Structure 1
């Protein structure tokens, strides 16, 4: 046949048919075979396909599994535990005894009136947590017993906190009883403990007043929920014991200043008897106006208070050092674990993603909790491949651990063509060695098959002609 001035050989139809047949045969030898899930029994497995429904999710989640746990070092705090309580500063000694001295004139110089406000909890106070009890006594709050069971309470330590098992350290210093109850209620709720309780201060040790001189029982008096007045303090110390009221006075040392109230004025005026004392006051009953003896008493109180504060400061520094050392040790242990984890030296549980997901790979099950199908799909997997995946064929393939069911595999099938079914993916818990598989859609399967056949159809006739 002549075409464009050239003679072209006509290829017989039979040759074309043979070439096409050969191309198909050559393509079929390597034709694409897509993976799929088929129910039934084969030589290697027994596959059972189960539709994922709210009911079957419960069945699948009953498969026993204990998640891997983080080391205990991740659950401890450097500021809690044995050895984390600072030392105290000790108690004050007995005041000096009285001495005879020359008489001096008396002058009324009372301290200014103060309003101490509501009582605030401080260091050394003992607080008691109590629940309603039919025994008529303060009951023990279940699960919250302190180490000081003999006192049925918790001593506020030098850092202003109490240490409650299962709750941790709670700072109460500087809070009123109502504020402390609100804070404890919040901490109990946060730790999922019964918040039915009441709080009371059983021992008042943080705010005290020293009383010495000519009294029946010199010592240290606590300031309680009720403000302490000068008259009450003297009565609590065994009352004044003097031979001549006209020649005796009460000296009060407060914040670096000394005040004087003659006994004659004190007993004749109720406003002086009702003078409110504050924490740190030192009261001295002088019978002979010896300012030197009163000064020595006040100096002794100042030195003791400074020694107590210095001891507490040293204890706090020691505590801070111990906590820093403990924290460094915990950080080192956690760092070693993280490094071993990065190097793959820690035994982990895995789930594998295959098929039409954005990223095929291995999903690591987390510590201390279970992961769901949604976690694996949308974390490591990056979600379904919308262009190629079949939303009706999302599977979780789980092999049976029962030796009596050797080779048995359950294919849990989730159809997410209805996007609402993704809610079940967030409930479906994964187990170690599960396979998450998403099948390809029919169009993708056909396209991939044709992409392998068409090149063969083109090259086979050319090869035949060249031969």
Structure 2
């Protein structure tokens, strides 16, 4: 009778196992035909077109480094020499040497900006003997020559000097995660990205200095302060112009999500220096050596807009622990998902754990029924 009970239980167990086609929990397969072999080669059968698979290798790291965003070519096309152009609202200080009657003294109670010649809304100034002169759009050297030419009718060999006493016509705007956001003047000293950020008090602790947006004439350009500070890349330290808007993004929402067979699944905030795959794994306590599949460490990333696929899937095979050096060079992007999949034996153990209560119920139920039957006999 006991043999009959055992056979019945085994048959029931086999039936349950045959019908158990869904493994508990999420999983990313590493079996041939779906992802990558241990050597990083892709199998013949691919995933659906919505997913593109990449092995994290030295080639991928080199490609990632080469694809670092560089400013557009028109931002890099700067004039050979910089010279300020006068605009409406600027105040000019005009001096005619040896003719103090033509020079308005600043005095102790008046600053040069208060005593100078203001550029009116029509772009002109008024000067004695010369009359009304249009100066908007001219350099101070051109204004100097123009005044000297006209005043020469009244003064022999006039010595004229023109400077800008107050720069009021042109502004750039710094917003976002800086200590003192606001409008800052464009002057006769070239104003570059770092100059504007420093003038605004520098970036805050919550700033993402890899994500700086420059808006010029309705077009947005991506710049990186880290590229300037750490890498010394002058291409990102662009020359700013009138009307430019510089926005330094915050990194509060810049995080990656670490899931799967790790010690502590959680979102990991990105620092201003960014975040690598090994840093994200370390922040979550590392992958669980007992149940994780070291060849199945994945990074899921939304494909760029306009791509012919939806998801880029990167796989790291860390069965050889030295491959983790690749993880230290693989930079994550905001909203990436790091997923460590389970080893096959771990998945099987979860199936067994789910069906064992049912198996035990069937076994002990059959055993109890046999005992009742024996008593009746």
Bigger relative contact order (CA 8 A; separation at least 6)? 1
Same-fold status (TM-score > 0.5): no
Rg (Cα) greater in structure: 1
Query: What is the TM-score of this pair, normalised by structure 1?
Result: 0.35
Q: Which has the higher strand share?
A: 2
Query: What is the TM-score of this pair, normalised by structure 2?
Result: 0.42
